[in-house]
Amino acid sequence: MAILLIDRDRPFAQRVGLACLERRIAVAIAENVCEGIRVLLDRPVAAVLVDSGLLRLPAVDQAKLFEAVAPGVPVVVLVSEEVPLPERVRYQVLGFQVFAKPFPVDDLVRKAEALTAAATIHPDR
């Protein structure tokens, strides 16, 4: 099963991609949400990891969009230190998981492993 990483930071995306591939996790990388939506329409993924800085819609509309395109697929929002606590909580209340930057790439890959393992257990996603 694959994950989708939506992030315009190419060096970071490449590090995540290589670390995932070392653990036999396929990775699709998109530089913006529109590209990510196209990926989701083309193939199933176990999880979506998205940089909060790329989310342009209000959080509730963003949640509806991801649910409409990839029902039941967990979405992890990667937030920077500058993102205020109320915004982080808003993402969590809407069902997104939140992962605060900076973090070691290995931590994110372990999260991706857990999400792909859960998708293997629940293949209907």
Predicted confidence at residue 107, as pLDDT, reads 82
pLDDT digits (tens, 9 = 90+) for 19-74: 888 988 899 999 999 999 999 999 999 899 999 999 999 989 999 999 999 999 99
Strand 97-100 and strand 75-79: the pairing is parallel
Q: Are strands 26-30 and 97-100 parallel, antiparallel or unpaired?
A: unpaired
Q: How far apart are CA 113 and CA 66, in angstroms?
A: 20
Q: How far apart are CA 27 and CA 31, in angstroms?
A: 13
Question: Is the model more confident about 21 or about 123?
Answer: 21
Which residues lie below 8 Å from residue 36, measured CB to CB, with a gap of 6+? 4, 6, 30, 48, 50
Distance CA 96, CA 77 (A): 7
User: Rounded to 5 degrees, what are φ and ψ at 97?
Assistant: -90, 150
More confident residue, 16 or 113: 16
Instruction: Output the domain CATH number for residue 22.
Output: 3.40.50.2300
Q: What is the number of structural domains in the chain?
A: 1
Threshold 0.75, pTM exceeds: yes
Domain that holds residue 9: 2-121
Residue 90's pLDDT is what? 93
pLDDT, tens digit, for every residue of 67-122? Answer: 999 999 999 999 998 999 999 999 999 999 998 887 777 887 787 778 777 765 54
Which structure tokens are listed for 44?
């199933």
